[in-house]
Chain A
Amino acid sequence: MGGCFSDTRGGQQAVGGGVHQPTTPFKRGDGDNNNNNNNDAVDMFFRSRGITALFTSLELSFTAAKLRDMDILSKSDPMAVVYVKSRTGTLEEIGRTEVLMNTLDPVWIRKVSIDYHFETVQPLVFHIFDVDTKYHSLPAKALKLDEQDFLGEASCVLSEIVTKRDKSMTLNLQGKNGHSGMKRLGTITVHAEETVASRQAVEILFRCSNLENKDLFSRSDPFLRISRIVESGASIPICKTEVVNNNLNPTWKPVSLTMQQFGTKDNPLIVECFDFNSSGNHELIGTLQQSVADLERLYREKSGVNYQIPSSVRKQHMKVTLKGQLFVDGFSEKTIFSFLDYISSGYELNFMVAVDFTASNGNPHLPDSLHYIDPSGRYNAYQQAIFEVGEVIQFYDYDKHFPAWGFGGRTKEGVVSHCFNLSGSASNPEAEGVNGIMAAYASALHNVALAGPTLFGQVINMAANIASQSVSYNQRKYFVLLILTDGVLTDLQETINSLVKASDLPLSILIVGVGGADFKQMEILDADDGKRLESSTGRIATRDIVQFVPMREVQGGQISVVQSLLEELPTQFLTYVRSRNIKPLNTSEGQTSGGQHPVQGVGA
């Protein structure tokens, strides 16, 4: 749980138990200071800023069926090799399974680890080989693949696997270079599993009674520190409570411990009670050792356990039992779900696009225009952003029908519209697939004259309406609106008002600034400095829903800035669902009509 060790806000606050803090599965390691300037109040809104390393470790496991038989006297001895395909098309091996003997339907044991990154498309290629008997004494890693018989290959994108309801995907094997010929080469099934130890956590409400008085002129200011005993015998602090001033019978705010923190329920924990001292030299009041299972029993039996204290510094093992007791007034187990738990249980991300058609982009027929469509097929900045964001998100949108609008353009009717359908249809804003958006965008450039001014309000309101209808119908959807713009907003305050109003909806807005204009306003909308957006009536955004990047940073850099745009989406999504206590769907409730995502028990 992040922030447990952050010594900020004047010492005492620092020890805050941090019950409401977001435990994000994308965070690696504990004790990072991501809430150092935050506070319980902000934590209530589960704002989890500054989290880097937004990735999740996955383990891929493999089975295959009906493989080709290459051996004469026995069946094939198959092994699977997994590659990541780079943008240039080269394959990089990330792992391989063991060799199984004499089977055409192998179930491999060895798993292959991969880091799942939401913000990128991660193409995977699987090769299956029949390993010749003469190499069987060699470890799988040492095998030279060009000496083995090739049984087939298959490819997919990692997002396709994790959006499946059971995170499993079956692929038909093909011959080298995609030639399947006439033969059936069998299938490979890939299953992805998050490698988090557990989603379980316990929340415990501690109380003490009859604590010893350590202060001269007042009573003690006690707080608890909980540590886990590791195998070496050392103890590692995992959580602290807040300080209760001047009280020998204190009750603390509930403490939340994840399974990663406490290990197993029988793992002994040390619960130390200290008297807070502003010098940082806290005085030990007493210590005791209890496992989570013990604490649960204390709660059920409503009994206390006595504190002890080493009788002297030298004789650490000689303990004196104290009058002070520890009680557990509350104990509950809860489950912390990850982004993938929601996604694989059928929660969708729905993608929407809005493109700037203001005149400042320049005449689209001229090569210096930001809207110029190069006959050579090279993407302009708008196309590039649509493609890069769409390419990632499309896998999370089941029907791949994307509403696509333009703003600031003069449509065929002769009026300037601040939200028109790129498709040209009066009623249906949807384009089919990312290529559909590209086509609609290109055709709109022919049919719509660039005009102005630049107003976001209508587009945001339209997206908010769609998102709100989804809420009204209890649909499990989260919406992502991509706004592409070259310029300065005419309606900054109005846009802020719309954003504040939309901040309570399942909606994130990504803004990409195209061209060389001054995008200071967009930085205001982004609110990354921690200032929450404030409407003209004094209403304040309940959470941050806007991300902004200027496109010029995209070019040149190795890592696309579009990725950094998408990076925060899983966190924004989790902030939304957690604040509303929305759980992933499990098992049979989620009946889909298409059959593409068969209903299966999801071990959530």
Chain B
Amino acid sequence: MEKSLARSLEVTIISAEDLRINHRSIKKNAFVTVQTDPNNSRSTNMDTEGASYPSWNEKLELALPSYVKHIRVDVKCKTSSGERTIGSANIPLTDFLDDYIPPNCLHFLSYRLREHDGDRNGIVNISIRLNAPDYVPRALPSLTVQAGYRNSNACGWMPSSRIQTPYNNSRGSFAIGIPVSKGYIV
């Protein structure tokens, strides 16, 4: 099972803001569908309390086929006339694969939602982490550090030794693990 999911995404749908249908704030029943390709799609539950500012905090795991360049997030709403798509965001993989911090770190991302005719709608807030045991990141366009991703686990727990970087030349530098494994613990 683990091996067949060589590359997968951990997408946490946190919340959305200012959702509207025909310029009117929605009342309830918003949910989010994420898909990496037509065969890999997951949805959250419906939010019943947040009205046009729903929150879900649901973690969805999706396979990430190698040819995929974008993932699609659709914010939808169940109304009396059926399901309607409020707005969508196309997230380029580069936003978290080529970001400043390694892809296996938790990335907090927010996107403007667009309606199918291109009109602006609300905002969706998510966090994404790549699960890829053998992921080799591109070289950092860094100042002096070449050993950038030597410890592929750097964003997980506790590299056991101190690692030198150009900006910790002497005292007070720590290489202590920061538990960034979870998004919001309240």
Contact = CB atoms under 8 A, between A and B. Distances in A.
A binds B: yes
Interface of A: 13, 19-20, 39-42, 44-45, 203, 242, 253-254, 256, 334, 346, 348, 350, 398-399, 401, 403, 427, 462, 464-477, 501-502, 504-505, 532, 534, 537-542, 579-583, 585, 589-597
B125 A41 contact: yes
B50 A471 contact: no
Contacts of B184: 20, 44, 579, 581
A398 B169 CA distance: 10
B145 interface: yes
Interface string B52-95: 01110100000000000000000000000000000001101001
Contact of B179 (A473, A537, A538, A582): A582
Contacts of A475: 165, 168, 173-175
Contacts of A595: 171
Given A45-B125, A505-B100, A399 B169 contact: yes
B114 interface: yes
A589 B145 contact: no
B91 to A, nearest CB: 8
A41 B155 contact: no
Contact of B108 (A471, A579, A585): A579
From B107, B112, B149, B159, name the one whose CB has the most chain A CB atoms within 10 angstroms: B112
A462 B144 CA distance: 12
Nearest to B156: A474
A589 B16 CA distance: 38
Contacts of B15: 40-41, 44
Interface in B86-127: 89-90, 92, 95, 99-102, 105-112, 114, 123, 125
B175 A474 contact: yes
A592 B176 CA distance: 11
Contact of A589 (B57, B89, B176, B185): B176
From B16, B154, B167, B171, name the one whose CB has the most chain A CB atoms within 10 angstroms: B167
A471 B155 contact: yes
A19 B186 contact: yes
Contacts of A44: 14-15, 55, 57, 125, 184
B177 interface: yes
Contacts of B57: 44
Contact of B149 (A462, A472, A501): A472
Contacts of A346: 172, 174
Nearest to B185: A581
Nearest to B168: A475
11 contacts: A19-B186, A45-B108, A401-B167, A470-B167, A474-B155, A474-B177, A477-B167, A501-B100, A589-B176, A595-B171, A596-B172
B174 to A, nearest CB: 5
Contact of B53 (A40, A473, A583): A40
Contacts of A470: 165, 167
A474 B178 contact: yes
Contact of A41 (B53, B149, B176): B53
A472 to B, nearest CB: 5
Given A474-B154, A582-B180, A465 B174 contact: no
A-B pairs, 9 with minimum CB distance: A594-B171, A398-B172, A468-B100, A41-B15, A39-B53, A540-B110, A538-B112, A542-B108, A41-B53
A22 to B, nearest CB: 10
Given A350-B167, A467-B100, A581 B149 contact: no
Nearest to B28: A245
A504 B107 contact: yes
Contact of A534 (B54, B102, B112): B112
A473 B140 CA distance: 14
B54 A41 contact: yes
From A19, A45, A583, name the one whose CB has the most chain B CB atoms within 10 angstroms: A45
B133 interface: no
Given A539-B95, A592-B172, A596-B171, A42 B178 contact: no
B101 to A, nearest CB: 5
Contact of B142 (A39, A42, A401, A469): A469
B144 to A, nearest CB: 7
Given A41-B125, A538-B89, A399 B108 contact: no
A589 B176 CA distance: 7
